[in-house]
Structure 1
Amino acid sequence: MMNLSQVRRIVVKVGTSTLTYPTGKLNIRGIERLVRCIADLHNRGYDMMLVSSGAIGVGASKLRLPERPTTLRMKQAAAAVGQCELMHVYDKIFAEYGISTAQILLTTDDTEDERRRLNVHNTFDALLETGALPIVNENDTVAVEEIEFGDNDRLAAVVARVSHADLLVILTDMDGLFDDNPRENPEARLIPVVHKITDDLRGIAGGAGTENGTGGMATKLGAAELCMERGIPMFVINGAKPETLYEITQGRLAGTLFLPPEAPDKD
């Protein structure tokens, strides 16, 4: 059993594959279950933060585009529409539990520049002190290179570092990291704990994500490296089972845990 008695600030990242159906439409039932768990942990006294993907996919669906856009201008247009839809849904459901939400849209400039990074950290602190729940996404409507090459797994790790979080939990469409592709090999075994990111693990992770998202297991290894550098443990769990968050806060192993050595100072 893990000792998570000191964990107070938790970043939860949810991907497009968890938020939407293959049609691109929002998975309302899944979102409601996730929000209920996060709200319950918030009420228990945890500082909860949510990093949410899905703006481009949701926007493409709402605009009735025949497929996920590929040009920069259409990605940015879809993101602008989809972000409004996502925040509307989040705000409405969290409000049912008496929780105010706050939208934070970031680019890499906001976290790489020291002064701006401090401002972001202070904003997170102020929101959490007031009981609001920050919901973070990349600012896709103004980002350029980030849309093409970035991913919200990395963003979630950066948010965990900047906010001085104690734990990052990434929700995906698999139960965790396996020793082979479980979609192709039914004998693939779940790797419960990872202490170090190796080339062998990178080879296992591969690269491709789902059709509607930009991330895969490889991007989660990148996020894990960023977290482990700052002594922040990270879980990868199945987004179809958000109640697993309760197991984690009770110190139980679930999915795959990326466990760093003794924590250095967080930046």
Structure 2
Amino acid sequence: MEDKVLDTQCRAELKDKKRIVVKVGTSSLIHVETGELDLIKVEHLVRELTDLRSKGKDVILVTSGAIGVGSKAAGFKEKPDTVPLKQACAAIGQARLMMIYQKFFAEYNQVTAQVLMTRNTMLNANNRRNAQNTFEELLALGAIPVVNANDSISTFEILHGDNDTLSAVVVSLVGADLLILLSDINGLYTDNPSTNPDAKFVPFVDMVDDELKDMGKESASGVGTGGMATKLIAAELATSAGADMVIANGRNMNVIHKIIDGQPYGTFFRSNEDEAFELKRFLKERFHE
């Protein structure tokens, strides 16, 4: 009962968040049947983000989908197996993906910008500072940065899952106070709901601990590359950096404004800011090349 009351209180405060990062997975952007981009959903996403910006909030989009879009454009029925081919498809797909985002944002008279990042962007002090400066200037200009991993030149992101961790890294870098992860799942469950009908939905998480991390299960969509394990890493990173986080289903992009309005969608992870938190050390401890 205490968690339910706390959940309601925390969600009611989301309307006051000033700097919001929204991450959208591949499975939320494409038609599963064909692998083509779902243009209606992309347009709805852009409209939701532009409306947040119109309310005076800083907004950053972290998007997946470059490899999937590029694979389709290159004539593959499925994503290629080899890393070099994935990198080539990422180069093709990123250009197409950004062109579509630019087109839709322009229809709403919203300036946008592309920011491609790698693991080294965060581990190198100069690169990290330059990235931070770029984000701050873009947000000051009223632009919505569209962020993706630079898969065409870096294999680390391809080999270590989806953009969940990247979105939390961006949260830490820019001092965001809310991260919304949209995927093919409703939120956190005690087990994989696609294989265990007794799995229970977890609406509120006060702290990401070792027991919680054991719940991490792979996504059943077969479309994205990030499972629940990567989302829990993102939750640990984002909440330690001082942000609240919500994992929700991206089936309908209207869920974004519903979350901001405090409605009970997805799993809410409460901020637990750690004064000793260091992004560089966090990444080094959890990821090794």
TM-score interval, smaller chain: over 0.9
CA distance in 1, matches of 2:160, 2:168: 16
Question: How many residues are matched?
Answer: 267
CA distance in 2, matches of 1:209, 1:148: 18
CA distance in 2, matches of 1:189, 1:178: 5
TM-score by length of 1: 0.94
Question: What is the CA distance between 1:228 and its match in structure 2?
Answer: 1.6
Question: What is the CA distance between 1:153 and its match in structure 2?
Answer: 0.2
Unaligned runs of 5+ in 1: none
Counterpart of 1:162 in structure 2 is: 173
> Is 2:10 aligned against 1:10?
no
1:180 match: secondary structure: coil
Contact (CA 8 Å) 2:207, 2:272: kept in 1 or not? no
Query: Alignment partner for residue 78 of structure 2, among 62, 67, 74?
Result: 67
Query: Alignment partner for residue 55 of structure 1, among 66, 74, 83?
Result: 66
2:180 match: secondary structure: strand
Counterpart of 1:251 in structure 2 is: 262
RMSD (Å) for aligned C-alpha atoms: 1.8
Counterpart of 2:141 in structure 1 is: 130
Counterpart of 2:202 in structure 1 is: 191
Task: Show the 5 A alignment for 1:1-267.
Answer: 1-2=9-10, 3-4=13-14, 6-22=16-32, 23-208=34-219, 210-262=221-273, 264=275
- Judge which range, 193-202 or 152-161, deviates more: 193-202
Unaligned runs of 5+ in 2: 1-8, 279-289
Question: What is the CA distance between 1:265 and its match in structure 2?
Answer: 8.1
2:116 match: secondary structure: strand
- Judge which range, 172-181 or 50-59, deviates more: 172-181
- 1:77-110, Cα deviation, whole Å (9 max, x unpaired): 1000100111011110111110011000000111
TM-score by length of 2: 0.87
CA distance in 2, matches of 1:130, 1:265: 32
Tell me the amino acid that sits aligned with residue 142 of structure 1.
Answer: I
Question: What is the CA distance between 1:5 and its match in structure 2?
Answer: 5.5
Contact (CA 8 Å) 1:127, 1:133: kept in 2 or not? yes
CA distance in 2, matches of 1:208, 1:10: 24
Question: What is the CA distance between 1:145 and its match in structure 2?
Answer: 2.7
CA distance in 2, matches of 1:125, 1:266: 21
